Structure 1
Amino acid sequence: MREPPPDWFENPEARFRTATFWFWHRIPTDEEIAAQLADMQAKGIGCVMIQARPALERSSYLSPTYLAAYRTACATAERLGIGVTIYDEYGWMSGHGGGRTVDGADHLRERHLFWTSGPAGAPLTVSAIQSPFLDFIGDIGREWLYDGARPVWGEWQVVAAVAHPPAIHDEADLRVLAEPIEVRPLGDDGCRIDYPASTDIPADWIVTVFVAARCLTSRLINYLLPESAERFAQVVYAPLLEAAGGAADGFFFDHPYAGFYTWAEHEGSLGNSLLSDGRHADPAEIAELLSLARDVGPRTVALRAGFLGAYAERMHEAFFGTLARWTRERGVGFSGHELLTHVGGWPLHSGLTGIDSRVMPGVDHFGIDAYRTETAVDAADFAPQLAAKLGDSVARANGRQRCTVEQYATGREAGRPTLAGQWDLTPQRFRLQAIRHLLLGARRILLHAVNVTDGFDRDERLLANPRWDFPPAYNFLPWWEDCGPIFDELARLSAFLEAGEPLRPVALLYPLETIRIEGPAGACGEHFGFWAEALAHSGIGYDILDEGQLELALEPDGRYAVLVLPAVVAFASETNAMRIRDFAKRGGRVLWSGALPETLRNPFQTSALPENGWPSAASPTAHAENPDVAAIRASVATLARPCPDIRFDDEGATWSAIAQLGSSWRIAILNDADHPRRLTLTGAHASHELTILNPSDPGSKCIEIIGERLDGVSLLMPAYGTACLTLARQKTAGEPRGGLASLEDSSSPPVQAVIELVDGWTLEIDGCPAIPIAVDRGWEAQGFPQFSGTGTYRRSIVIPRRQSDTAWHLELAGICVSADLWVDGVFAGRALNSPATFSLCCRPGDTLSIEIRVRNTAANRYHQDMSFAVPDPLPSGLTTPPKLVEIKGDATNLRMRS
């Protein structure tokens, strides 16, 4: 008899449950608050974060009416057992508070450092200052962030001025200009710089001037000033915490924003302006500043990295440090995420292009995480990506584990404007992405978002119309009804993954020093993505480490057998180069790509990658100058597999997680393919007992055991299936393995007959009377092109009188996009995709009333009449006739296989 699953698995704690942003595009009524929170509770939402969006009138944010509704919502959520975390902003770009932070405190508005160069004696200009990053949020975004909806620059100050030859050979070539320099505004977006001619400056020299200016109309803050964070806490954090009335567990910061400005005369290593406090630079700082704009001699990269490191530490301490202390003093947590330029992919700099994250509150993710009490990261769209792995890694580096992954959707994947999002998202696509996040290190998923309103028809204003504010709003999707079981599965999987020490024999170095030297244009970001993706795809566990962890990570008898260096050109500590050398000498394997750091060339004394590919696992080191994805995957294929190990037998991805808990192992795995796949579990010996739990349905099977070997077992996993396996050593060695006492027959039962159910179907849709419908094409092709919702198909079937030892199944080969089956008024199962097969409890001659409730996406409704709509409506409903399938065998349970 199958033992019941433990309660911690069947009924997971709230911390493992899906959280959600709750977008308030307007202030909801008390009735809406009660209804929507009750709906969230019914779906299994564990935590809610109320977020005022730009469509909400800015004057309404934090008004008495807003705070009264906020107070009601928090009290209601607490009564329903839903956790509350305070989202700290009006929209995002943490710190501006809808303009309240800088209202009456103009000195806190963002101030930036610009630089310009020209021939000695000629006037200089800074002109055409703009923020390309903000272009995608359009007019409402500018109204949201700037008084008068446009930036106006003023209060210009000279920070430094230096003369130098066109080619600087040494810092001694630099000549600081002490003469009075005049800076005058040049329109609203620049300035003119005049300085006296000097006979001491050769005619062929260049003058570079650094000037600071305040954006007089910006509602964004200067993150270099602790006072900015103090005032933000005073005017935003304090009233929200009071309104939460004890229900809140902490604050969540989102995407602090600074330095996205470019200008016509911009040059040098940095892609954007820097924040500035307006202070005049000391002479000792001149070379550091100039290293941002040009080469200043042999110490250029060291000066640049040192300046950016100190700049980041100052900015992070001023903002994150101030807020962390404020929250700690009040006994609440501090979480959220910084700028993540890798969002949506694996490379470090390809997610948010056109941004140099070195000047933002970001890049040093390990340093920022030290201020948090819980780690959170950002994830965009629904392809596998780095987010959860990096989040878990920085959390572990700071004494915690796992993270929250904020999952949002853009329109980029479908060729729509970013803010137009994905109303055509399917439940299976969302589910698979969420499971991948959990296996890579997430504790919970944060939905983006549940909405108070779904907005307005025939209105394409991005952000201004709630419908085009990074949709989908999950509660307005037809398949919102499928989310309860999906959220339950995610919570069970997360609870299973919480305990234990992960089996991760590979360390991937986060190349912070190289990023500070080279910026987004360097190779390290792309190479890092190659390695991170290849390791995750292979199912080999790995951690991302920063340089500060190497001393402990590479010590003898440490957990790591392999160290990967992705196009690393320098280390913050040269001692680490020697540690890496010693690690290799002790038998550790070092793989690197890109240019080899000078400090490692001689110690390793190794040649480049041989033409016939990466060396075998016996080789302690391997190096490739310009690898591609295939070369990196080939390298990963040479790595020794850990033990225990689980992986699919084909070349597809193995999304998995393995952790040791005492004397047992916990193994979780996902098949994200649309067909069953064989996999092998090695390290499962006869003295081990194998227990299998199904996170989607704890009372049913989720995997077939199809064979046993000396060193493990072979299994068959259904399409889109998940499984949680525990491998435990039995008390008495040699006893039969409990989970394998009798191997199950994996051969498919013989099909006796197939009856195609083509005719006789009716469809009830949108509350209208049932009509005859064809099931060889969707309802969008039969008069309902713009309907998004649930369509109910009905007909009766008579079970033929056959032999008594046969079972009957209903097979749905075309479902767009999810369906429930009801037989004689009894729920018989759910499918998130097709094909799906349902077992029928019946006897020969029975007449069964079949009801198939199909839900499509929201695209056909919300995309109607939009300029970015696809030409034809998306398939919806049943698109292939269902089949009644007779199979030799016995059916005793109603269950669904898909």
Structure 2
Amino acid sequence: MADLENIFRNPDFRFRSTPFWSWNDNLSVRELVRQVDTMKEGGMGGFFMHSREGLETEYLGEEWMECIRETVEKSSRENMNAWLYDEDRWPSGFAGGLVPESGGDKFRSKQLTMEEVEKIQPEENESVVGRYVIKLEEDELVESERIPGGREYNLSDDETGIIFRRKVSDPSPRFNGDTYSDNLNTDCVEEFLRLTYGAYKEEVGEKFGETIPGIFTDEPNIYSNFRSDAHEVPWTDDLPHYFETHRGYDLLEYLPYLFLKGSKSTKIRHDFWRTVSELFLEAYSKQLSEWCDQNDLQLTGHYLMENELGGSILVSGSVMPHYKYMDVPGIDILTESTDEPLTVKQCSSVANQFDRDRVLSELYGCSGWEFTFEGQKWVGDWQYALGVNQRCQHLALYSLRGCRKRDFPPSFNYNTTWWEYNKIVEDYFARLSALLSSGDPVRDILVLHPLSTGWSRFNGKNIDEVDEIGENFQNFVEKILALHRDLDLGDEMILSEHGEIKGDKVVVENAEYDILIIPHLETIFESTLHLIREFVDNGGEVIACRPLPDMVEGEKSEKVNEVLSKCGTTVVETPDDMEKALGDLHEREISITGKSGAEDDSLLYIQRSTDEREIYFIVNNDRTSPHEVDIEFAHKGRVQEWDPLTGSIEGIYAEKEKFGMRISAKIEPAGSRVYIIDKEKKPVDSQKNPPEEVDSKYIGPACEFERTDPNVLVLDFCKYRMEGDDWSEKKPVWEAQKEIREKLDMRPIYLNGIEQRWKWIDEPHENNGIPIDLKLSFKVENSPESPIYLRMERPEEYEITFNGEKKEAEPTGWYMDKSFKKIELGVPEEGENEITLTCDYRNDMEIENFHLLGDFAVDLDIRKITEEKDRIYFHDWCPQGYPHYAGNMIYREEVELDLEEEESAEVHLGDHFATTVEVRVNGESAGQVPWTSFKGLDITNWIENGRNEIELEVVGSPRNMLGPLHKKNPEKFTSSESFRPEGGDFTEDYVLQSYGLFEPVEIKILK
């Protein structure tokens, strides 16, 4: 890549993130255009226009297309990418319900079920796929006979009758009242392309390949009932014919062996799932890929349940082969976690093999409103070290109104209180993306994937058993990565079509490998066996783990043992023997050792090579401890450290070794380093002495402070009455609305996932207009001097009374989100205060928690408004009067600093919790401390000798305002259910996230 230094310092939109922009309300072109500007200001390079929970504009309708068209035009003017998304919510394929509506049962998803019967009756029902008489011995199938459809059969005592049926999926709110599509049906997918891709082509096709780079397909699958406990497998009407064409025999003769265990089961299961995989590839991904190629669009997206072997077989058959049809292959990893290396490696391996320079990750979903910049870095760094280089944040919410605020938060948009600082993280990852899209990955090891072993075991029900194979394989891969031996995975379907041996190398399309590793497998493809035989015969190196495979394509065979017994194969007894086996066969690209001299398994790396440079990105996945390591590179030249946070580039001293260069480094918790070896420049010949600490000053343990936002008191309990009835007991607001809707015979809306609102909100309901009263109360110990405000949604729908006085429902502005309106209440009275809200309730209404905003403190224990203090202490700000505060807190103190010549000053934060922290000196920003691994912010240039005003702006989040607030045992997976706990999962107490500086801040004087 030309001029990599300049691109690194100032990365353009190509390397910036493209979040899922959640189009989730009654859309306004004006508001969409405004939000394009806010995302650009926030450092993003584009977005995916994604229909989402709460949409009230008709999907693919005239207004929707106008919004698409105008947003694309705005993006074109702003030099941003406007990516398309191909579904109403997800999973892709049903076009919001238009596909099953168009084709009826032919296009609806189907399953194959097995039913045990007492008698084989003649049945001509079209749902019957096959009738069988079987014999079982100790639950094992020993005999099976297929009975023709018109024939009756009387069972003997030792026989069992079973019937296999084709079942059409039941309608579901998830699919807008219809079913999912049959993605094994080529005609069905063709209709999906016509209705969705074709519609976009007609509206904005002239922008394809320009402002619209491509389209995202999200979690397409072949088994929509994957959360069910039913014993079923995916099905389509053409499957028996397709199976016989590709496998050479009649599947229907052997169906019982698919579900039941018998001598032929491993073979039948292997062939069934292989065939299903091939049909899904051909019907869905290949068709989409060809359409996109013909229309100048890049295809991107990800597939369902990539992280589970059993689950992914059930819903996809296979995952990796689909990626070869994607221009930007992608994955999805939810929550703040780094425990799915297999998910990333499956995708980045295929990207390397098929020369795709970008790998996308839909990431951060379900991490909660408290998600920090450090969380973004920790998760993102880990994924980038495994091969990702394009972020798609989940989600940038268009609106937080109603159910939308609970759509797997956080939001990466203007409607979160830390948004003004977002560009810091965007710049960091854009710089990383520019580097990690340069050159080619350096990976010399290919590890066979155990997919076919999973096929041979899987009967459609025993997911846990097959998932365990995947988990063991993931542990195996992790052990190799921990040895700092990077690798790709070899999928046997891909190998059968694109694998070959060239000399002593295994070649998969565009990638070459020196070593082939065979983990513990039970079966392999015949084509894989031929590749191994040729590789070994050509002098290639194979490492195989015991026990060795004893089946070929699901059938017992001695062939594998014969091939692997040849010279050139190293057989290891356990995965722990892999380090020695690799060391004997292959020179290292890098070594990262700790004090013990062993490879430090908390650190990961990725290497990319260009003609002039070797690029190394090293990540400390340990979030609690720093790691001091020695790093040896197998290349010579000038070692430089490139800092993605600041854009700085600095040559550093490295010791020359026999084959390369060696440095020492301390990598902080969740920290990372970029080292680049410029092979055409001489090494730095002298080492700088680190500065010495000569003095320290401290801020704390208490100081003056200032809020940036109004304080908040959550009003999430109420009483209600209908048509003048008695008041209810006090209960959560959401529970009150649930009861109201049940009494009015209206659909439930207390949890997300119902039929999309655009399908039903304009329909009249017989109980629309029933009068409803809500009563909210709160206590005041000290009345604030200024008025307080009620934050509510759609105030125009209510009559508002405060302490008996009617209030105007005209908003005086908004807070956080444009749907969060502020209604002035005035100054509250000391003692009990009461708000009454009256409305004529309608089916389309959403009653949400209310909030008081203003200049006051909140007593955490008694939950009453009280007087603010003059100073804030260095511990959690929640019990200091701010339990629900969503904004930032500025800690302010004057510090005497007199720097002598050659002295400098650095700010070092101690324990704290914040989204990020900005440091200002004498009113000017000196920079950010976005994560704890960033040690020592230099403030020298802003210091004046004498008294200096230091401000530390601790950036908060909406977590303690929007929740979850009453979930007794919070989990890392945040969904709409998290905000509506019931039974033993509910507590009346408020479960809060601590915020603030928790210990004094040190200013170090260095020389």
Aligning the two structures, in what range does the TM-score lie when normalised by the shorter sequence? 0.7 to 0.9
**CA-CA distance at 1:852 after TM superposition:** 1.6
- 1:797-836, aligned counterparts within 5 Å? 797-799=895-897, 806-817=903-914, 818-834=916-932, 836=935
Residue of structure 1 aligned with 2:78, choices 65, 77, 80: 80
Partner of 2:609, secondary structure, is strand
Change (3 A) 1:708 1:721: farther
Aligned equivalent of 2:474: 529
User: SS of the counterpart of 1:103?
Assistant: helix
Alpha-carbon displacement from aligned partner over 1:348-384 (angstroms, at most 9, x marks no partner): 43xxxxx643343x24333222332321122122322
- State how 1:86-485 maps to structure 2 within 5 Å: 86-118=84-116, 121=119, 157-167=127-137, 173-180=143-150, 196-198=152-154, 202-215=156-169, 217=171, 218-244=178-204, 246=207, 247-261=211-225, 272-277=233-238, 284-297=250-263, 299-342=264-307, 348-349=308-309, 356-360=311-315, 362-384=316-338, 385-386=340-341, 387-410=343-366, 421-456=367-402, 465-475=403-413, 476-485=415-424
Equivalence map 1:372-771=2 (5 Å): 372-384=326-338, 385-386=340-341, 387-410=343-366, 421-456=367-402, 465-475=403-413, 476-519=415-458, 520=463, 521-522=465-466, 523-547=468-492, 548-549=494-495, 551-552=499-500, 555-557=503-505, 559-573=512-526, 576=529, 579=532, 583=536, 586=539, 588-592=541-545, 596-597=549-550, 598-604=558-564, 620-624=570-574, 631=576, 642-649=587-594, 651-662=600-611, 664-673=613-622, 676-683=626-633, 688-699=637-648, 705=653, 711-719=660-668, 720-730=670-680, 737-738=682-683, 740-746=684-690, 749-767=692-710
Secondary structure of 2:183's counterpart equals coil
Aligned length: 782
1:840 equivalenced with 2:919 (yes/no): no
CA distance in 2, matches of 1:402, 1:446: 12
Q: Check 1:265–1:579 CA distance in 2 against 1; reply closer, same or farther (3 A cut).
A: closer
User: Take 1:179 and 1:435, find their aligned partners in 2: how far apart are those partners?
Assistant: 59
Q: How far did 1:712 drift?
A: 2.3
Q: Which amino acid aligns with 2:76?
A: E
Whether contact under 8 Å (2:219, 2:304) holds in the other structure is yes
Shift in Å, 1:30: 2.7
Offset of residue 395 of structure 1: 2.1
**Range with bigger deviation, 665-674 or 428-437:** 665-674
Distance 1:865 1:296, change over 3 A: closer
Distance in 1 separating the partners of 2:584 and 2:675: 24
Partner SS, residue 763 of structure 1: strand
Question: 1:10 maps to which residue?
Answer: 9
CA deviation after TM superposition for structure 1 residue 821, in Å? 0.8
Q: Go from structure 1 to structure 2 and tell me whether the alpha carbon gap of 1:434 and 1:823 turns closer, same or farther (over 3 Å shift).
A: same
Distance apart, 1:827 and its partner CA: 1.3
Contact 2:122 2:149 in 1 (8 A): no
Mark the CA change 1:237 to 1:752 in structure 2 (over 3 Å): closer, same or farther: same
The whole-number CA distance in structure 2 between the counterparts of 1:169 and 1:862 is 53
Distance, in Å, in 1 between the alignment partners of 2:229 and 2:21 is: 43
CA deviation vs aligned residue, 1:187-245 (integer Å, no higher than 9, x gap):
xxxxxxxx7344xx644222222111323633311122222112212222222333335
Aligned CA distance change for structure 1 residues 811 and 441 (closer, same or farther; 3 Å) = closer
Whole-Å separation in 1 of the counterparts to 2:654 and 2:528: 51
Corresponding letter in the other structure for 1:744: K
Superposed displacement of residue 635, structure 1: 6.9
Q: Structure 1 residues 263, 402: CA separation in 2 closer, same or farther (over 3 Å shift)? A: closer
Alpha-carbon shift at residue 543 of structure 1 (Å): 0.7
User: Does the 8 Å CA contact 2:320/2:347 hold for their aligned counterparts?
Assistant: no
Return the TM-score normalized by structure 1. Answer: 0.79
Q: Deviations over 1:59-103 (max 9, x none)?
A: 721222222122221211221111122100000111111111122
> What SS class does the counterpart of residue 533 from structure 1 fall into?
helix
The C-alpha deviation readout for 1:743-796, integer Å capped at 9, x for no partner, is 1224x6133344454344222241577962223213212101001122222232
RMSD, aligned CA: 3.6
- SS of 2:478's equivalent in the other structure is helix
Task: Find the aligned partners of 2:163 and 2:573 in 1 and give their Cα distance.
Answer: 42
Are residues 517 and 792 of structure 1, via their aligned partners in 2, closer, same or farther at CA, if it must alter by over 3 Å?
Answer: same
Shift of 1:867: 3.8
Which residue identity is paired with 1:50? M
Amino acid aligned to 1:165: K
Amino acid paired to 1:274: W
Distance in 1, matches of 2:998 and 2:655, equals 37
Letter of the structure 1 residue corresponding to residue 66 of structure 2: A
Aligned-pair distance for 1:495?
1.4
Mapped contact 1:554–1:583 kept (Cα < 8 A): no
- The code of the aligned residue for 2:606 comes to A
Residues 110 and 566 (structure 1), Cα distance of their counterparts in 2 relative to 1, 3 Å cut:
farther
Deviations 1:20-61 (A, max 9, x none): 11001113323321221111111221221111113224x721
- Partner residue of 2:43? 44
Distance of aligned partners of 1:48 and 1:555 in 2 relative to their CA distance in 1, 3 Å threshold: same
Alpha-carbon distance between aligned partners in 2 of 1:331 and 1:811, rounded to the nearest angstrom = 51
- Distance, in Å, in 2 between the alignment partners of 1:202 and 1:518 is 30
Tell me: CA distance 1:117–1:584, structure 2 relative to 1, closer, same or farther (3 Å): farther
Alpha carbons of structure 1 residues 170 and 442: separation in structure 2 relative to 1, 3 Å: closer
Identity of aligned residues (%): 18
Choose 83-92 or 317-326, whichever is displaced more. 317-326
- SS of residue paired to 1:784: coil
Contact between 1:155 and 1:214, CA under 8 Å: does it hold in 2? no
Q: Judging changes above 3 Å, is the alpha-carbon distance between structure 1 residues 619 and 715 closer, same or farther for their aligned structure 2 residues?
A: farther
Amino acid at match of 2:938: S
Please name the residue that 1:860 is paired with: 960
AA aligned opposite 2:678: A
Residues 593 and 363 from structure 1, CA distance in 2 versus in 1: closer, same or farther, beyond 3 angstroms?
Answer: farther
Change (3 A) 1:90 1:794: same
Change beyond 3 A, Cα 1:529–1:557: closer
- Relative distance call for 1:197 and 1:23 in structure 2 (3 A) is same
State the SS of the aligned residue for 1:292.
helix
After superposition, what is the alpha-carbon deviation per residue over 1:396-420, rounded to whole angstroms, capped at 9, x for unaligned?
333434411111433xxxxxxxxxx
SS class of match (2:250):
helix
**In 2, Cα distance between equivalents of 1:451 and 1:264:** 30
Within 2, Cα distance between the matches of 1:173 and 1:883?
78
Task: Provide structure 1 residue ranges, at least 5 long, that are not aligned to the other structure.
Answer: 126-153, 181-194, 343-347, 350-354, 411-420, 457-464, 607-617, 732-736, 890-898
